[in-house]
Amino acid sequence: MKYESTRGSKLKKTGPQAIIQGIAEDKGLYVPERIPALPFKVEDMAGKSYKEIAFKVMGAFFDDFTEEEMRHCIDGAYDSKFTVPDVVELKEAGGAHFLELYHGKTAAFKDMALSILPYLMTASCRKEGVTDKICILTATSGDTGKAALEGFADVPGTEIVVFYPTGGVSRVQERQMVTQEGANTHVFAIRGNFDDAQAGVKNIFNDDNFAAQLAARGVRLSSANSINIGRLVPQVAYYVYSYVKLVERGAIKAGKPMNVVVPTGNFGNILAAFFAREMGVPINKFICASNENKVLTDFIRTGIYDIRNNVREFYCTNSPSMDILISSNLERLLYLLSGRDGDAVCNLMEKLDNDRVYEVPAAVREALGVFYGGFASENETLDTIGKMWLNEGYMMDTHTAVAYKVYRDYVRETGDAETPTVIASTASAYKFAESVSAACGIGPCNDGFEYVAELAAATGIEIPYGLRDLDKKTVLHEGIVDADKMMDAVSEALR
């Protein structure tokens, strides 16, 4: 399997090369030259574990890893740091199936892919004979940063630099990052929002002079964001696993379709579901759930992606991991839906950079018909959490609540209440304890950490081990930089 750029470069890469490089030389994103078919019959996987399913799914994409290499990556990533027997749990509540992806060390779904990326990265470097130090450069809207820090902390031959928007993450998320231990970890708040952080990271990747300076010091850049194909591919396993388990439990007959709902920011998680469909998982509808930063909802409904300042305001919401206006992984979907037309995608991305708006051709607009877009306001999010806890005894974080609210809107609008539906549940409620507590009538409290304790006392739900006593941990990272000084911060961190 080779990997090609969304912007038309003729230089294809192996899986390990694409993982190491992160972004293509023409600034595009890597996609597999073909989406592999499922390497098994769904019925034959009944009773198989998450690790066994992920091993086969990832091996189909990264077929230049030996079975031994892939098994080492899988076993190293999905070990005892996950607190449920099968790494993830699929629970039924409120007429949907919630795929709980947050039972890892940082209590968010990013643990799933960012636990395995360091293994894929180091194995790739060995295969390619890379001896340079790899600097993992990451922008985060809250969860990616901590999961990446946790995954790469003290991994030999790596440094990791994380940027997050000051005031744009929850208190718990921020404390998780700024207390991160590890001699190779570096965390900076930036004065700006997530889009500013993401744009700054992309600018650093795109600066050939800076790359040359780092190369002279024996350092090369790579990414832990889902722009890295090594982050994206592990997520495909979520949806293959979900379908296998629905069939195994008798919730669906093999070959019949399911729906998938994903609270969506950078579009990586829902794109992984699209990849699963292309592999052969019968998915009827991809329900893309946004908060008040509803650029994706509007795009799916109109075919126009518009982030002009006079059209769209940026909101800081109670689901901060979706406070994003530029969804990077959408570029990969556009590439696939346009028939792998790199020139067309390059033109759209130039329009986004220059004009802050683009409209897709009619054929792409038609192909978007497998997506449904919807959004939830902050009040609707809180209302959804409160009602689900009161009526179903099921606790959700704010992002999962956005997804469930949009799913209920989809059912009301389409009448499609019969198709079994999987909702990606992306974080523990304790990561957003202030909002979840307010939704459940708890508080007011003095700070986010008191909310965690009060929420636990009121619900009896155990606090994830990675979130306990965060307020007592020593702050190790206090840097704050302007968005236009991010490159300087990286340079200084690598000295």
Is 70:39 a contact under the CB 8 Å cutoff? no
CATH code where residue 328 lies: 3.40.50.1100
pLDDT in tens, the chain (495 residues): 999 999 999 999 999 999 999 999 999 999 999 999 999 999 999 999 999 999 999 999 999 999 999 999 999 999 999 999 999 999 999 999 999 999 999 999 999 999 999 999 999 999 999 999 999 999 998 889 999 999 999 999 999 999 999 999 988 999 999 999 999 999 999 999 999 999 999 999 999 999 999 999 999 999 998 899 999 999 999 999 999 999 999 999 999 999 999 999 999 999 999 999 999 999 999 999 999 999 999 999 999 999 999 999 999 999 999 999 999 999 999 999 999 999 999 999 999 999 999 999 999 999 999 999 999 999 999 999 999 999 999 999 999 999 999 999 999 999 999 999 999 999 999 999 999 999 999 999 988 899 999 999 999 999 999 999 999 999 999 999 999 999 999 999 998
Q: Mind listing the pLDDT tens digit for each residue in 258-310?
A: 999 999 999 999 999 999 999 999 999 999 999 999 999 999 999 999 999 99
Give the total number of structural domains in the chain. 1
State residue 316's pLDDT score: 93
Helix ranges (H only) for 338-466 are: 342-355, 362-367, 378-392, 398-414, 433-439, 448-459
Q: Which residues contact 443 (CB under 8 A, 6 or more apart)?
A: 434, 437, 451, 454
Distance CA 393, CA 94 (A): 10
pTM summary value: 0.95
Dihedrals phi, psi of 252, to nearest 5 degrees: -155, 150
What DSSP character marks residue 14?
Answer: E
- Identify whether 248 is part of a domain: yes
State residue 225's pLDDT score: 87
- Identify whether 420 is part of a domain: yes
- Identify whether 171 is part of a domain: no
Q: Please, how many CA atoms are within 13 Å of residue 376, restricted to the half-sphere of its CB?
A: 31
State residue 490's pLDDT score: 97
- Identify whether 44 is part of a domain: no
Distance CA 271, CA 422 (A): 15
State residue 273's pLDDT score: 98
Is 364:338 a contact under the CB 8 Å cutoff? yes
- Identify whether 425 is part of a domain: yes
C-alpha distances (whole Å) from 433 to each of 148, 389, 484 are 22, 14, 32
- Identify whether 357 is part of a domain: yes
Distance CA 454, CA 446 (A): 11
Q: Which residues contact 66 (CB under 8 A, 6 or more apart)?
A: none
- Identify whether 82 is part of a domain: no
State residue 495's pLDDT score: 87
Distance CA 470, CA 433 (A): 13
State residue 172's pLDDT score: 92
Q: Determine the structural domain holding residue 410 and report its residue range.
A: 89-105+230-431
The conformational region for residue 218 under phi > 0 = left, psi -120 to 50 = alpha, else beta, is left
- Identify whether 150 is part of a domain: no
What token pair was written down for 219?
């350092």
Closest residue by Cα to residue 53 from 95, 14, 86:
86
Beta bridge partners of 479: 188
- Angle, alpha carbons 104-232-315 (nearest 5°): 80
State residue 142's pLDDT score: 81
Closest residue by Cα to residue 137 from 232, 221, 217:
221
CB atoms within 10 A of CB 399: 31
Is 340:213 a contact under the CB 8 Å cutoff? no
Q: Mind listing the pLDDT tens digit for each residue in 403-417?
A: 999 999 999 999 999
